[in-house]
A = this chain, B = another copy of it.
Amino acid sequence: MRIVLDAVGGDHAPVAPVAGAVEAARALGVEIVLVGPADQVQAELAQHNTTGLSISVVDAPEMIEMDEHPVQAVRRKKRSSIAVGMRLVRDGEADAFVSAGNSGAVMAGAVFVLGRIPGVERPCLATVFPALKGTITVADVGANTDSKPEYLVQWARMTSLYAQLVQGITRPRVALLANGEEDSKGDKLVQDAHALLKNSDLNFVGNAEPKDALVGDTADVIIADGFVGNLFLKGAEAVAKFAIKKIQRELSGPGVLLRALAGLVPTALLVATSKHKGRVLLASLIGGPALLGAVLAPAVVRMAKTLDYRAYGGAPLLGVNGVAIIAHGKSDPEAIANAIRRAKEMVDRGLVAAIESGVAETKNLEPRT
């Protein structure tokens, strides 16, 4: 399998993409094609030991910046990493494309170069969300705004196939993101999509509130308009960061010193009543903070990791004629490697073909108008 990686996409390019490519090539045994300005990418690649790995470089000298207008940039810059990479996939020279670059440009590139799967009205961006129980796949998280109810139904179908084939969930439960479980909740779009999904062959379970997306015991797939879904994703990320910052602040303020002193009272009493004050004092002064550090720091780090969406392998664009994954702009090498792993799974499980036949079957079932 050959996966194209945008070597110049993301805030930490080319360092992070190249390091992630090396990591993925070693761990997954896939071939990686790095696209970007060849000399720059080769220089970065030379920093790594690539013995036994299949990593090649294809030149793409033009750069698309994060603040460029996505559609115009992709149309104009035919020799950008995104345009060059997508053509490799379209022409069958590679199986998948991964980028942490300008997400609008990657979406535009995928639609222009790979094209839509026949019957797909609008491709959608999906992302896997960590839940207390398992994972949840949410779509659309940013490819479309002001959507029609019919789009949401198609995204539900494509995302179900993704959850089934890539996440391994049998007959995924599909829900609509809403501000309440009752059928009457949501805006007009949600209510209209609700009615359509109720009459579909999908395993529709109704509305899901944000808390359902985090607990994960009521739905496996959650569908929303792209503006709403993107806002939800950014909101979750922001609150998670806020919570971590808050607890770190709580653990570093002046109040902590006072509380720590209070916590040392039992030991202080022991010291006072001991004949061997020095040794006992040393034991408590070293032992207490060591214990605190050993228990607390890993707990905060582990919470932060669960809430760190980079770990979840990027966002696949569903409905385009090829595998395309958008990784977070802040991706580190681990996040890039995870996105490559996700791309490999999508190719392995034949997701594009599954969506193609899934959408075609439904079209045939629908009454002709």
Q: What is the interface of chain A, defined by CB distance below 8 A to chain B?
A: 67, 132, 142, 145-146, 177-179, 182, 186-188, 190, 209-211, 213-215, 225, 227-228, 230-232, 234-247, 250-251, 255-256, 259-260, 262-267, 270-271, 274-276, 279-284, 286-296, 298-300, 302-303, 306-307
Q: Which B residues touch A274, using CB under 8 A?
A: 276, 279, 283
| CB closest chain-B residue, reference A189 | B146
In the bound complex, residues from chain B placing their C-beta under 8 Å from that of A290 are 263-267, 288
> Which of A243, A250, A279, A307 has the most chain B CB atoms inside 10 A of its CB?
A243
Q: Of the candidates B132, B231, B279, which one forms a contact with A177 in the assembled complex, judged by CB atoms under 8 Å apart?
A: B231
A250 B283 Cβ-Cβ under 8 A: no
Q: In the complex, are the beta carbons of A259 and B211 less than 8 A apart?
A: no
Copies of this chain present in the complex amount to 2
Q: Give the distance in Å from the alpha carbon of A164 to the alpha carbon of B67 in the complex.
A: 35
14 more contacts with CB within 8 A, not counting A260-B295, A265-B290, A267-B283, are: A177-B231, A178-B231, A190-B227, A209-B234, A215-B242, A227-B228, A235-B239, A246-B306, A250-B303, A256-B299, A259-B295, A260-B294, A263-B293, A289-B291
Q: Is the CB of A234 within 8 A of B263?
A: no
Instruction: Give the distance in Å from the alpha carbon of A289 to the alpha carbon of B263 in the complex.
Output: 8
Report whether B247 and A267 are in contact in the complex, using a CB–CB cutoff of 8 Å.
Answer: no
